[in-house]
Structure 1
Amino acid sequence: MYDQTMHPMSSAASNALMSLQNRGATNSANTSGAAAASTAGNVAQNLFENPAIQPSSVINLSNSSDVVIGPMTQYQGPVTIYQYMDATVEARSMQANGGGITHNRHTASATSVQTLSTSSKILFAFILIVLIIIGFIAYLELRHNNKNETKREILFGNNYDTGTFPNLGNGHLVVDREQWGTSEQTKNLTYPLSHPIPYVMITHVGVQSTPCYNIYKCSIKMRTLQDSSIAEKGLPDISSNFYVGNDGNIYVGRGWDYANTYANHSLSVTFMGDYIRHIPDERQLDAVKYLLAYGITNKHLAIDYKLVAQNQTKSTRSPGLNVYKEIIKWPHWYPCGMDGNPRCGVELGMSGTWNGTM
């Protein structure tokens, strides 16, 4: 639709056009549709040839096709159309779309942060659960170990470290039954040893037994002595309460709480070797002194206990001359059963010969 405002210079042309239209209307009553179309075509041709003639505000067309009003440009060949958008228009468009690329970037960034935050929470929760499980397992293990240690007799004082050998002091270890490899064939001991114990008796293995100088050899010797006591002598367990090797360590036999095979009311300590032929090591003698001092401190032994050699209680060469001449120098040695002295244990009603089969 064209602008309806008329130019001042086109009034004459408008009058002429209206005259032509009136004339065409009169002729249309007497002529055919073909004559009217010819007249309209002439008018259009005049409009193009005379620019001074301006078209009217309304043009009525009927039964026509391919009508062009105004100039027409025709191009032969391929045509490329470039569209340029004003920056202001583009900015408004992006703003109308919610921020465009910037908004999308912020949205993607927020989504990534949210995803990362969720993953971090899951990872943290997983690590926390693992730590709780590990802590619970460690607690159960520690409780189990403490329970075992409570049941297990702690023989030698406050320097007993979990998982290590007890230490009497000055490097003298105490090797327990499980540690030297006790037999499973032992019978339950039935004769308890009352505390405090009034007598300590010193013996040796004898029978041309060679001393042992390390924990490996001494452990083998302990198991051999135990097997011999059970199989050959018919005893329920190894004979003595404690044994001492030339390595300076103490090996647990029947321990503090059960009577030895020789006599009740006594604690027997056996030197592992034949000390008629061999000389006891200084560390071996020292270990026995530490053991007896511990016994007094923990009230296993009477504070005035009597120390005797086995050859004072029966006819034997045990504990060997080389051990005997050492222990008679110790302060608790008691000369019973020799040189006219009363026999050992008579004051307790013990039998004359300490040679029981307990």
Structure 2
Amino acid sequence: MDPNADRQPPSSGSSLPESASNALMSIHPRYNSFHQHNGMPHLPENSYSQNSNSGPGSANNNNNNTVQPATTSVINLSNSSDVVIGPMTQYQGSVTIYQYMDATVEASRIASGRNNQNRKLPSPEQSTVLRQERYFLYGALILLTIIAFSTALYFIIQQTQKSNLSSQPEILFGNSYASGTIPNLGNGHLVIDRQNWGAQPEVHGRYPLSPPIPYVLITHIGVQSAPCLDMYRCSIKMRTIQDAAVAEIGLPDISNNFYLGGDGFVYVGRGWDIANAYANRTLAICFMGDYIRYEPNEKQYSALQHLLAHGVAEDYLAKDYKLVAHNQTKNTKSPGPYIYDRISKMPRWVPCGLEGYSKCGEEIGLPLVWDQDFPKKKKAT
């Protein structure tokens, strides 16, 4: 007797819902890849499956032992235990269960790019490299910004300095200064005239000084006078020197034509037009301080060079003027060893008055001792 004779074929074969089929079709590359690499295992004999193509006339009924579920029936039970209503499937042999996630959810994840399997997160080594590259880029940007800012600032300063230089008035020098101006010899060497340092207006020298002047005499103040380093203190020192020359020594005015302050400024004494207290036809320039004890600074030497160059350019000094120290014209320690050592190396210095040489100014009729304005000591009788 056919064991399948009492079994009725299923009314219809089972199939996937249309929505699930569409979703699977949208992600079929991954679905097909899964089957290619894993493959559906061959179902063993006596296993249960539902085939939509199986039926009473199907060839599959003759080629396998697939068990078809029974059709729905009405059963009356009473006083029974261990009752199972509905089909109960029993598997013989090994069983492999495949789980498929909701195709609609999977499709939406793929469409939105939120599929974790498609994400490629950087490794820790890659993160370190990316961080270092980012820091290098930030550093390069900061460096370029600093360079650009510095360059712009440099050009702005240069343009400002050029504008200031072009707007400076013409340099004035002498006794006919324009009101409210301070002449400048260049390199920051201002010329402070008598009115600016506070000279006594009613005093002046006895003899006019006619250009071109053939001799330049270098002196210092001495008497343990400390150098002054700013215009305020140098102006006080100038007034003190003038007061001492007029009131104590009996001179008609301050001794020298010009004074060089430790601030690098040139202070006008008797100027270009009045002879100094030492000898006519000479220009006396005094370093303000005692340079037996102290050493002059470079600002004073620079001011001396600018003043001499200005005198030659304006024809106050002879083109071939001679430069001498005070101790070459008189028995004195002025201008001190520091200054004497320096000016004796200047190109216009001459060794007159030294042993074996003629007296300074002898060729133009200057006195043997240059102290024309100083009171002469009377010889004791």
TM-score interval (norm. to shorter): 0.5 to 0.7
Could you say what secondary structure the match of 2:190 adopts? Answer: strand
Q: Residue 244 of structure 1 corresponds to which residue in structure 2?
A: 260
Could you say what secondary structure the match of 1:305 adopts? Answer: strand
Partner letter of residue 173 of structure 1?
L
For the 8 Å contact 1:156–1:294, the answer to whether it is kept is: no
Could you say what secondary structure the match of 2:363 adopts? Answer: helix
CA-CA distance at 1:262 after TM superposition: 0.4
Structure 1 segments, 4+ long, off by >3 Å, are none
1:339 pairs with 355, 361, 366, which one?
355
CA-CA distance at 1:163 after TM superposition: 2.3
2:299 pairs with 283, 288, 307, which one?
283
Percent of aligned pairs sharing the same letter: 57
CA-CA distance at 1:236 after TM superposition: 1.1
Measured against aligned partners, the alpha-carbon deviations of 1:293-340 in whole angstroms (never above 9, x if no partner) come to 000000000000000000000110000001111111111101101031
Aligned runs of 1:241-280 on 2, under 5 Å? 241-280=257-296
Could you say what secondary structure the match of 1:353 adopts? Answer: coil
Larger proportion of helix: 1
For the 8 Å contact 2:262–2:296, the answer to whether it is kept is: yes
CA-CA distance at 1:165 after TM superposition: 1.5
1:302 pairs with 318, 325, 328, which one?
318
**Distance across 2 between alignment mates of 1:334 and 1:155:** 27
2:199 pairs with 182, 185, 197, which one?
182
For the 8 Å contact 1:229–1:238, the answer to whether it is kept is: yes
With over 3 angstroms needed to count, the CA separation of the structure-2 counterparts of 1:344 and 1:326, relative to structure 1, is same
1:155 pairs with 162, 173, 176, which one?
173
Aligned runs of 1:46-195 on 2, under 5 Å? 154-155=172-173, 163-186=180-203, 188-195=204-211
Partner letter of residue 177 of structure 1?
R
For the 8 Å contact 2:222–2:290, the answer to whether it is kept is: yes
Could you say what secondary structure the match of 1:198 adopts? Answer: strand
Could you say what secondary structure the match of 2:242 adopts? Answer: helix
Aligned runs of 1:223-242 on 2, under 5 Å? 223-242=239-258
Could you say what secondary structure the match of 1:172 adopts? Answer: coil
Could you say what secondary structure the match of 1:167 adopts? Answer: coil
Partner letter of residue 320 of structure 1?
G
Which has the greater radius of gyration? 1
**Distance across 2 between alignment mates of 1:161 and 1:182:** 18
**What root-mean-square deviation, in Å, do the aligned CA atoms of Structure 1 and Structure 2 show?**
1.8
Measured against aligned partners, the alpha-carbon deviations of 1:158-217 in whole angstroms (never above 9, x if no partner) come to xx886232100000000000000011441x433111110000000000010000000000
For the 8 Å contact 2:205–2:276, the answer to whether it is kept is: no
**Distance across 2 between alignment mates of 1:282 and 1:161:** 30
For the 8 Å contact 1:241–1:260, the answer to whether it is kept is: yes
Could you say what secondary structure the match of 2:215 adopts? Answer: strand
Could you say what secondary structure the match of 1:199 adopts? Answer: strand
Could you say what secondary structure the match of 1:200 adopts? Answer: strand
For the 8 Å contact 1:156–1:168, the answer to whether it is kept is: no
**Distance across 2 between alignment mates of 1:221 and 1:291:** 20
Measured against aligned partners, the alpha-carbon deviations of 1:227-254 in whole angstroms (never above 9, x if no partner) come to 0010011111100000001100100000
**Distance across 2 between alignment mates of 1:249 and 1:279:** 17
Q: Residue 84 of structure 1 corresponds to which residue in structure 2?
A: none
Unaligned 5+ runs, structure 1: 1-152
CA-CA distance at 1:355 after TM superposition: 1.4
Measured against aligned partners, the alpha-carbon deviations of 1:53-104 in whole angstroms (never above 9, x if no partner) come to xxxxxxxxxxxxxxxxxxxxxxxxxxxxxxxxxxxxxxxxxxxxxxxxxxxx
**Distance across 2 between alignment mates of 1:297 and 1:351:** 28
Alignment partner of 1:318 is 2:305: no
With over 3 angstroms needed to count, the CA separation of the structure-2 counterparts of 1:190 and 1:357, relative to structure 1, is closer
Unaligned 5+ runs, structure 2: 1-170, 375-381
